[in-house]
Amino acid sequence: MPVRALLRVLGALLLVSGFITAHADEQLTVHCSGQGHPVYLVGGGPAFTTWNLQPIQNALNKDFKVCRWDMRGVGDNADLPISDQSSALSQWLDDMDQVLQEQQVILWGHSWGALQVLLYASQHPERVAQIVLSNPVDPELKSLEHIEQKRFVHPEINGGLSLDEMGTPAEGLHNLRSKIASYFEDAEKGWLYAELFAREDANNVLNVQIWEEYRQSPLRKHDLERIADKVSGLIYCQADVLQPESEQEYRRLLPDVSHQVLSACGHFSWEESPEQYFSALHQLLEY
Protein backbone atom coordinates (compact mmCIF):
# COMPACT_ATOMS: atom_id res chain seq x y z
CA MET A 1 0.00 0.00 0.00
CA PRO A 2 1.42 3.46 -0.88
CA VAL A 3 2.70 5.44 2.10
CA ARG A 4 0.14 8.19 1.59
CA ALA A 5 -2.75 5.74 1.52
CA LEU A 6 -1.41 3.97 4.60
CA LEU A 7 -1.21 7.24 6.53
CA ARG A 8 -4.81 8.00 5.70
CA VAL A 9 -6.01 4.55 6.74
CA LEU A 10 -4.15 4.77 10.05
CA GLY A 11 -5.47 8.27 10.57
CA ALA A 12 -9.04 7.16 9.96
CA LEU A 13 -8.71 4.67 12.80
CA LEU A 14 -7.91 7.49 15.21
CA LEU A 15 -10.56 9.98 14.08
CA VAL A 16 -14.28 10.17 14.51
CA SER A 17 -15.78 11.44 11.28
CA GLY A 18 -19.16 13.08 11.37
CA PHE A 19 -21.47 15.11 9.23
CA ILE A 20 -22.73 18.62 9.82
CA THR A 21 -25.82 19.82 7.98
CA ALA A 22 -24.70 23.04 6.33
CA HIS A 23 -27.80 23.72 4.26
CA ALA A 24 -30.81 21.69 3.19
CA ASP A 25 -29.63 18.36 1.75
CA GLU A 26 -25.97 19.33 2.26
CA GLN A 27 -23.65 17.74 4.79
CA LEU A 28 -20.09 18.73 5.52
CA THR A 29 -17.68 15.96 6.50
CA VAL A 30 -15.90 16.89 9.74
CA HIS A 31 -13.13 14.88 11.43
CA CYS A 32 -12.74 15.10 15.22
CA SER A 33 -10.67 13.34 17.85
CA GLY A 34 -10.19 13.68 21.61
CA GLN A 35 -12.31 15.16 24.37
CA GLY A 36 -12.34 18.50 26.13
CA HIS A 37 -12.73 22.10 25.10
CA PRO A 38 -13.18 22.21 21.30
CA VAL A 39 -10.31 23.31 19.06
CA TYR A 40 -11.02 23.82 15.36
CA LEU A 41 -8.20 23.75 12.83
CA VAL A 42 -8.41 25.89 9.70
CA GLY A 43 -5.73 25.10 7.17
CA GLY A 44 -3.89 26.99 4.49
CA GLY A 45 -4.14 27.31 0.77
CA PRO A 46 -6.83 28.46 0.40
CA ALA A 47 -8.64 25.48 -1.12
CA PHE A 48 -6.18 22.93 0.26
CA THR A 49 -6.75 19.63 2.04
CA THR A 50 -6.73 19.29 5.83
CA TRP A 51 -5.70 15.64 6.25
CA ASN A 52 -2.16 16.96 6.67
CA LEU A 53 -3.25 18.65 9.90
CA GLN A 54 -3.68 15.31 11.64
CA PRO A 55 -0.35 15.68 13.51
CA ILE A 56 -1.85 18.78 15.15
CA GLN A 57 -4.87 16.74 16.19
CA ASN A 58 -2.69 13.97 17.57
CA ALA A 59 -0.64 16.45 19.59
CA LEU A 60 -3.69 18.12 21.17
CA ASN A 61 -6.38 15.46 21.49
CA LYS A 62 -5.31 14.35 24.98
CA ASP A 63 -6.50 17.71 26.31
CA PHE A 64 -8.98 18.95 23.72
CA LYS A 65 -11.58 17.83 21.25
CA VAL A 66 -9.82 18.72 17.99
CA CYS A 67 -11.68 19.00 14.70
CA ARG A 68 -10.81 19.80 11.11
CA TRP A 69 -12.71 19.82 7.84
CA ASP A 70 -12.10 20.48 4.17
CA MET A 71 -13.79 23.59 2.90
CA ARG A 72 -16.73 23.42 0.52
CA GLY A 73 -15.39 22.53 -2.93
CA VAL A 74 -12.25 20.83 -1.59
CA GLY A 75 -11.19 17.29 -0.64
CA ASP A 76 -13.81 15.48 1.46
CA ASN A 77 -16.31 18.22 0.65
CA ALA A 78 -15.40 18.72 -3.01
CA ASP A 79 -18.87 17.67 -4.14
CA LEU A 80 -20.72 20.31 -2.15
CA PRO A 81 -21.93 23.02 -4.53
CA ILE A 82 -20.74 26.61 -4.44
CA SER A 83 -23.56 29.01 -5.22
CA ASP A 84 -23.01 31.88 -7.63
CA GLN A 85 -25.40 34.00 -5.56
CA SER A 86 -22.72 34.88 -3.00
CA SER A 87 -18.96 34.70 -2.71
CA ALA A 88 -17.31 31.35 -2.08
CA LEU A 89 -15.54 32.87 0.91
CA SER A 90 -18.81 33.97 2.50
CA GLN A 91 -20.10 30.42 2.02
CA TRP A 92 -16.99 29.05 3.74
CA LEU A 93 -17.60 31.39 6.67
CA ASP A 94 -21.27 30.37 6.79
CA ASP A 95 -20.18 26.73 6.87
CA MET A 96 -17.87 27.53 9.78
CA ASP A 97 -20.86 28.87 11.66
CA GLN A 98 -22.57 25.52 11.19
CA VAL A 99 -19.50 23.40 11.98
CA LEU A 100 -18.45 25.10 15.22
CA GLN A 101 -20.11 24.00 18.43
CA GLU A 102 -22.45 26.28 20.33
CA GLN A 103 -19.98 26.85 23.16
CA GLN A 104 -17.09 29.24 22.61
CA VAL A 105 -14.34 27.51 20.68
CA ILE A 106 -10.60 27.81 20.19
CA LEU A 107 -9.56 28.52 16.61
CA TRP A 108 -6.17 27.61 15.15
CA GLY A 109 -5.33 28.98 11.72
CA HIS A 110 -2.35 28.21 9.51
CA SER A 111 -1.19 30.41 6.61
CA TRP A 112 -4.37 31.46 4.74
CA GLY A 113 -6.31 29.78 7.54
CA ALA A 114 -5.15 32.55 9.88
CA LEU A 115 -7.02 35.09 7.77
CA GLN A 116 -10.13 32.91 7.66
CA VAL A 117 -10.03 32.50 11.44
CA LEU A 118 -9.69 36.26 11.91
CA LEU A 119 -12.49 36.96 9.44
CA TYR A 120 -14.80 34.58 11.28
CA ALA A 121 -13.87 35.90 14.71
CA SER A 122 -14.39 39.50 13.62
CA GLN A 123 -17.89 38.59 12.43
CA HIS A 124 -18.77 36.31 15.36
CA PRO A 125 -16.61 37.33 18.35
CA GLU A 126 -19.11 35.82 20.77
CA ARG A 127 -18.41 32.36 19.32
CA VAL A 128 -14.64 32.47 19.87
CA ALA A 129 -12.76 31.99 23.14
CA GLN A 130 -9.18 31.91 21.92
CA ILE A 131 -7.15 32.22 18.70
CA VAL A 132 -3.73 30.87 17.74
CA LEU A 133 -2.17 31.84 14.42
CA SER A 134 0.48 29.62 12.86
CA ASN A 135 2.79 30.87 10.07
CA PRO A 136 0.07 33.36 9.17
CA VAL A 137 -0.42 35.42 6.04
CA ASP A 138 -0.77 39.07 7.06
CA PRO A 139 -4.08 40.89 6.45
CA GLU A 140 -2.67 43.27 3.82
CA LEU A 141 -0.91 40.37 2.04
CA LYS A 142 2.47 42.08 2.15
CA SER A 143 4.08 38.71 2.84
CA LEU A 144 2.86 37.43 -0.53
CA GLU A 145 4.28 40.23 -2.67
CA HIS A 146 7.63 38.55 -3.42
CA ILE A 147 6.85 35.00 -2.39
CA GLU A 148 7.87 33.49 -5.73
CA GLN A 149 11.41 34.77 -5.26
CA LYS A 150 11.53 33.60 -1.63
CA ARG A 151 10.55 29.98 -2.20
CA PHE A 152 13.28 27.38 -1.79
CA VAL A 153 14.45 25.78 -5.04
CA HIS A 154 15.43 22.23 -4.10
CA PRO A 155 16.98 19.57 -6.36
CA GLU A 156 14.38 16.91 -7.05
CA ILE A 157 15.06 13.69 -5.19
CA ASN A 158 13.22 11.35 -7.58
CA GLY A 159 13.83 13.01 -10.93
CA GLY A 160 11.86 15.74 -12.65
CA LEU A 161 9.01 15.81 -15.12
CA SER A 162 9.62 13.94 -18.38
CA LEU A 163 8.76 15.37 -21.80
CA ASP A 164 6.03 12.76 -22.21
CA GLU A 165 4.32 14.04 -19.06
CA MET A 166 4.12 17.66 -20.21
CA GLY A 167 0.49 18.73 -20.63
CA THR A 168 -0.82 15.68 -18.76
CA PRO A 169 -2.30 15.32 -15.27
CA ALA A 170 1.18 14.27 -14.16
CA GLU A 171 2.39 17.81 -14.82
CA GLY A 172 -0.29 19.27 -12.57
CA LEU A 173 0.66 16.86 -9.79
CA HIS A 174 4.34 17.63 -10.23
CA ASN A 175 3.66 21.37 -10.01
CA LEU A 176 1.64 20.90 -6.80
CA ARG A 177 4.36 18.79 -5.18
CA SER A 178 7.12 21.17 -6.30
CA LYS A 179 5.26 24.06 -4.73
CA ILE A 180 4.78 22.21 -1.43
CA ALA A 181 8.46 21.23 -1.30
CA SER A 182 9.48 24.85 -1.95
CA TYR A 183 7.98 25.88 1.40
CA PHE A 184 10.47 23.69 3.30
CA GLU A 185 13.93 24.76 4.35
CA ASP A 186 15.04 21.11 4.40
CA ALA A 187 15.00 19.74 0.84
CA GLU A 188 14.67 16.06 1.73
CA LYS A 189 11.85 16.66 4.20
CA GLY A 190 10.14 18.92 1.70
CA TRP A 191 10.10 16.44 -1.16
CA LEU A 192 9.20 13.47 1.03
CA TYR A 193 6.28 15.46 2.45
CA ALA A 194 5.21 16.70 -0.98
CA GLU A 195 5.00 13.17 -2.35
CA LEU A 196 2.21 12.39 0.12
CA PHE A 197 -0.17 14.70 -1.76
CA ALA A 198 -2.43 14.01 -4.73
CA ARG A 199 -4.00 16.39 -7.25
CA GLU A 200 -7.38 16.24 -5.49
CA ASP A 201 -5.80 17.72 -2.35
CA ALA A 202 -5.93 21.19 -3.92
CA ASN A 203 -8.40 23.18 -6.01
CA ASN A 204 -6.46 25.78 -8.00
CA VAL A 205 -9.51 27.49 -9.49
CA LEU A 206 -11.08 27.96 -6.09
CA ASN A 207 -7.74 29.07 -4.66
CA VAL A 208 -7.58 31.99 -7.10
CA GLN A 209 -11.23 32.84 -6.53
CA ILE A 210 -10.88 33.01 -2.74
CA TRP A 211 -7.83 35.29 -2.92
CA GLU A 212 -9.69 37.61 -5.29
CA GLU A 213 -12.71 37.70 -3.00
CA TYR A 214 -10.57 38.41 0.05
CA ARG A 215 -8.85 41.31 -1.70
CA GLN A 216 -12.25 42.89 -2.33
CA SER A 217 -12.97 43.03 1.39
CA PRO A 218 -9.81 42.45 3.44
CA LEU A 219 -9.37 42.59 7.18
CA ARG A 220 -8.66 46.08 8.49
CA LYS A 221 -6.78 47.24 11.54
CA HIS A 222 -9.98 47.96 13.44
CA ASP A 223 -11.17 44.38 12.78
CA LEU A 224 -8.12 43.02 14.59
CA GLU A 225 -8.37 45.57 17.38
CA ARG A 226 -11.88 44.29 18.19
CA ILE A 227 -10.67 40.72 18.72
CA ALA A 228 -7.06 41.29 19.86
CA ASP A 229 -7.89 40.11 23.38
CA LYS A 230 -8.84 36.69 21.96
CA VAL A 231 -5.47 36.13 20.25
CA SER A 232 -3.25 34.04 22.53
CA GLY A 233 -0.29 34.27 20.23
CA LEU A 234 1.37 33.72 16.90
CA ILE A 235 4.01 31.19 15.84
CA TYR A 236 6.43 31.94 13.02
CA CYS A 237 9.50 30.25 11.53
CA GLN A 238 12.68 32.10 10.66
CA ALA A 239 12.91 30.40 7.26
CA ASP A 240 9.25 30.76 6.33
CA VAL A 241 8.71 32.28 2.89
CA LEU A 242 6.24 34.70 4.50
CA GLN A 243 9.01 36.27 6.55
CA PRO A 244 9.87 38.94 7.48
CA GLU A 245 6.74 40.77 6.35
CA SER A 246 4.25 38.55 8.17
CA GLU A 247 5.91 38.96 11.56
CA GLN A 248 6.47 42.69 11.04
CA GLU A 249 2.84 43.30 10.19
CA TYR A 250 1.38 41.24 13.01
CA ARG A 251 3.70 42.80 15.58
CA ARG A 252 2.39 46.16 14.41
CA LEU A 253 -1.25 45.08 14.44
CA LEU A 254 -1.13 42.92 17.59
CA PRO A 255 1.68 44.37 19.72
CA ASP A 256 0.44 43.03 23.06
CA VAL A 257 0.20 39.30 22.27
CA SER A 258 2.85 36.57 22.27
CA HIS A 259 4.99 36.33 19.12
CA GLN A 260 7.17 33.20 19.00
CA VAL A 261 9.75 32.70 16.26
CA LEU A 262 11.10 29.17 15.74
CA SER A 263 14.38 28.20 14.13
CA ALA A 264 15.14 25.44 11.62
CA CYS A 265 11.76 25.40 9.94
CA GLY A 266 9.84 26.85 7.03
CA HIS A 267 6.12 27.10 6.37
CA PHE A 268 5.06 23.67 7.66
CA SER A 269 6.60 24.18 11.07
CA TRP A 270 5.10 21.13 12.80
CA GLU A 271 6.76 18.91 10.18
CA GLU A 272 10.25 20.45 10.14
CA SER A 273 10.58 21.35 13.81
CA PRO A 274 7.92 19.38 15.71
CA GLU A 275 9.47 19.54 19.18
CA GLN A 276 9.81 23.33 19.08
CA TYR A 277 6.44 23.78 17.44
CA PHE A 278 4.34 21.69 19.78
CA SER A 279 6.07 23.13 22.83
CA ALA A 280 5.11 26.62 21.67
CA LEU A 281 1.58 25.54 20.73
CA HIS A 282 0.87 23.90 24.08
CA GLN A 283 2.06 27.03 25.87
CA LEU A 284 -0.33 29.20 23.90
CA LEU A 285 -3.23 26.82 24.44
CA GLU A 286 -3.06 26.63 28.21
CA TYR A 287 -6.72 26.99 29.03
pLDDT for res 282: 96
Condensed to tens digits (0 to 9), the pLDDT of residues 222-262 reads 999 999 999 999 999 999 999 999 999 999 999 999 999 99
Assign 190 a pLDDT band (cuts: 50, 70, 90).
very high
Complete edge-to-edge strand list for the sheet that includes strand 26-33: 16-23, 26-33, 64-68, 37-42, 105-110, 128-134, 231-237, 258-262
Let me know if residue 212 belongs to a domain: no
- pLDDT beyond 70 at 216: yes
Please tell me the number of Cα atoms within 13 Å of 42 on its side-chain side: 31
Domain count, the chain: 1
Give the CATH number for residue 139: 3.40.50.1820
Let me know if residue 141 belongs to a domain: yes
pTM here is 0.90
**Rounded to whole angstroms, how far apart are CA atoms 108 and 221?**
20
Let me know if residue 223 belongs to a domain: yes
pLDDT for res 135: 98
Let me know if residue 152 belongs to a domain: no
pLDDT for res 286: 79
Per residue, the 3-state secondary structure of 5-71, as one string, reads: HHHHHHHHHHCEEEEEEEECCEEEEEEEECCCEEEEEECCCCCECCHHHHHHHHHHCCCEEEEECCC
Mean pLDDT of the chain: 89
Let me know if residue 185 belongs to a domain: no
Q: Is 208 helix (H, G, I), strand (E, B) or coil?
A: helix
186 sits in which H/E element: none
What is the domain range of residue 227?
3-147+218-284
Let me know if residue 9 belongs to a domain: yes
Assign 59 a pLDDT band (cuts: 50, 70, 90).
very high
Assign 25 a pLDDT band (cuts: 50, 70, 90).
low
Let me know if residue 270 belongs to a domain: yes
Q: What is the mean pLDDT of residues 189-207?
A: 93
